[in-house]
Amino acid sequence: MKKYDLVVIGGGAGGLTVASGAASLGAKVALIEKGAALGGDCLHYGCVPSKALIAAANDVHYLQKTNDFGFTVSGKVDMKKVKERVKQAIQHIQVHDSTERFEDMGVDVYFGAAKFVDSHIITIADRERVYGKRIVVATGSRPIVPSIPGLDEVGYETNETIFDREELPETMIFIGGGPISLEIAQAYSRLGTQAIVLERSEAILGKEDESIQRLAIDFLSDEIDIRHHVSVKEVKQDGTRKVVIYEKNGKIEEVIGDELFLGAGRKPNTDQLEVEVAGVEVNERGYIVVNERLQTSVSHIYAIGDVNGQFPFTHAAGMEGKLIVQNAVLGLGRKVSYDRLPWTTYTSPEIFHIGKTEREAKASEGEIMVFQNGLEEVDRFVADHNVTGTVKIITNKKGKILGAHAIGKGAGDWMQTVIFAMEKGAKIGDLSTMVYPYPNQAAAIQRTADQYWREKLFKGSLPKITEKYIKWFR
């Protein structure tokens, strides 16, 4: 049995970050991946294929808009071509996550399902055993399959199967209105499918600022049929089509489509690890419980990424992975903080989020300031004929940025300036005094931040003082 300084279970974003970082520092590392290749859910079933699909759908959408210039476009989307583009993106990025690359770093890579034998020993595919002085669980998550009568008989798509489709359905029903469903629903809508989203709660995008939520619903409803307060009761087959029977406001209704997509949430991949053998605590939903140092109830075992239930984002797993290298390899005892963790929902327009919403900021700070500016006030968006969206920055009374939110084309990119400002402790006034090349989209941040100085300088007693000074100075 081989012994390692660190055993990493899971070859996704978090696990790869830990394995490469630890090996670079001289640790003897084993990396165990259940699937056939490294890269994890993000590369094969999540971030990469979904963004490739969205890009293809947006290309189709923009082609259809050429009618504005006198061109006409006809024909139907060839889903085989779309699938090919998605696979090309995966293959290109897979090179960076290749087994050979990690073996060249000195990492021993194993393929097979991992299980705990005790708190230090892991068995791989019930054949080989390895010993880890410290262990990191980074096994990710998978789609929840709700217990809906008839679902298994009718069949369905998830994010693990949708990117292999070679035919475009006329109608697709999405059960669940989370970010994954909304991104794929809009993409399919732009490719030519009628997309219907059935959402249990009152509103979609529940973690977003309320004003951003309202705008997002308005924009997305132009392309997607979103039905709220829906409780799915049964699914059945009607010839070649699928019927979803649901309750809405006390009434039983039904919707018919060619295909179903499950977007009802995610569940952690812990059920086959037998973590209880190692004494690792999990909560009622199956997530591994961790402390601020990302340690489990067994101090030498850590958990990062989707499996710990904090934030289901690739970049969150990567951030946690870097911290784990410091803690598990170097013993520094660093604490994780999610206060400045941003995320983007890649619908069109994109939705950006960092820090607190207005409601959260009021609850924690009491008195706050809110600065908001529509994209129609930004020359670049006007020139691009794409003024759909807004920027909202929330601060305390001293101008410290508590949260920032945006909806607009490319918001996930041009809002990066705010991330840096929050990371470095800069205030909203600093965002105003920066020089922004004209005309660019990030000027939306400047226009919003300028409101701070107008509030500070041009209201209250200061204008009266400067008026007297100017008269004296003359």
Decide if pLDDT at 461 tops 80.
no
Cα separation of 44 and 22, whole Å?
24
- C-alpha to C-alpha distance for 17 and 289, rounded to whole angstroms: 21
123 and 8 inside one domain: yes
Burial class from Cβ neighbours inside 10 Å (0-12, 13-18, 19+) for residue 214 reads middle
Closest CA to 40 of 300, 315, 293: 315
DSSP 3-state of 413:
helix
Kindly tell me if the per-residue pLDDT of 64 is higher than 90.
Answer: no
Supply the mean pLDDT for the chain: 94
Asked if residue 202 has pLDDT above 90, the reply is: no
Based on the domain organization, do 354 and 442 belong to the same domain? yes
| Residue 372 backbone phi and psi in degrees, to 5 | -135, 140
What pLDDT, in 10s, does the model give residues 247-304? 999 999 999 999 999 999 999 999 999 999 999 999 999 999 999 999 999 999 999 9
| 24 and 136 part of one domain | yes
Contact criterion met (CB below 8 Å) for 19 and 43: no
Does residue 52 fall inside a structural domain? yes
Q: Is 473 domain-assigned? A: no
Give the pLDDT confidence of 364-374 residue by residue, as tens digits: 998 999 999 99
pLDDT of residue 467: 67
pLDDT digits (tens, 9 = 90+) for 222-237: 999 999 999 999 999 9
Is residue 337 one of the residues assigned to a domain?
Answer: no
| CATH code of the domain containing 411 | 3.30.390.30
Do 248 and 298 have their domain in common? no
* Sheet strands side by side (includes 350-355): 343-345, 350-355, 401-408, 390-395, 369-374
Of 211, 238, 265, the domain-final residue = 265
In sign, the C-alpha dihedral spanning 322, 328, 331, 337 is positive
CB 224 within 8 A of CB 217: no
In a domain, 470, yes or no: no
450 domain-assigned: yes
Amino acid 333: pLDDT: 93
Q: Do 430 and 367 sit in the same domain of this protein?
A: yes
Assign 466 a pLDDT band (cuts: 50, 70, 90): low
Q: 314 with 13: CB under 8 angstroms?
A: yes
Does residue 214 register a pLDDT over 70? yes
Identify whether the C-beta of residue 407 lies closer than 8 Å to the C-beta of residue 350. Answer: yes
What confidence score (pLDDT) does residue 69 get?
Answer: 83
Write down which residue in 280, 295, 329 finishes a domain: 329
The whole-number average pLDDT for the span 439-449 is: 97
pLDDT tens string 295-312: 999 999 999 999 999 999
pLDDT of residue 72: 83
Residues 186, 250, single domain; the answer is yes
Model confidence over 322-339: pLDDT tens digits? 999 999 999 999 999 999
| Percent of the chain scoring above 70 in pLDDT | 97
The amino acid sitting at 212 is I
**Residue carrying the six token digits 């327009």:** 349
Question: Using 50, 70 and 90 to split pLDDT, how confident is the model at 403?
Answer: very high
**Co-location of 260 and 272 in the same domain:** no
Is 467 contained in some domain? no
429, part of any domain:
yes
Assess whether the previous peptide bond of 439 is cis (omega < 30° from 0).
yes
List, for residues 9-60, the tens digit of each pLDDT value: 999 999 999 999 999 999 999 999 999 999 998 999 999 999 999 999 999 9
The reply to whether 129 and 53 lie within a common domain is yes
Closest CA to 143 of 260, 240, 284, 248: 260
Q: What pLDDT is recorded for position 67? A: 77
Sheet strands (E) in 168-229: 171-175, 194-198, 225-227
3-state secondary structure of 323: helix
Residue 462 has pLDDT above 70, yes or no: no
Q: pLDDT over 90 for what percent of the chain?
A: 89
Give the range of the structural domain holding residue 400, as residue numbers without chain letter: 349-457
Shared domain check, 451 and 355:
yes
Give the strand pairing for 114-116 and 108-111: unpaired
Burial class (CB in 10 A: 0-12, 13-18, 19+), 433: exposed
Using the predicted structure, report yes or no on whether residue 457 has a pLDDT greater than 90. no
Residue 425, in any domain of the structure:
yes
What's the pTM value of the predicted model, to 2 decimals?
0.94
CATH code, domain carrying 228: 3.50.50.60
Count of domains in the chain?
3
Same domain, 253 and 388: no
Residues constituting the chain: 474
Question: What is the mean pLDDT of the segment spanning 311-321?
Answer: 96
Q: How many CA atoms lie within 13 A of 212 on its CB side?
A: 30
Strand ranges, E, within 97-250? 108-111, 114-116, 121-124, 128-137, 141-143, 171-175, 194-198, 225-227, 230-238, 241-248
- Shared domain for 7 and 128, answered yes or no, is yes
Instruction: Note whether 121 and 14 are same-domain residues.
Output: yes
The pLDDT value given to residue 75: 87
Domain stops at, among 244, 265, 286: 265
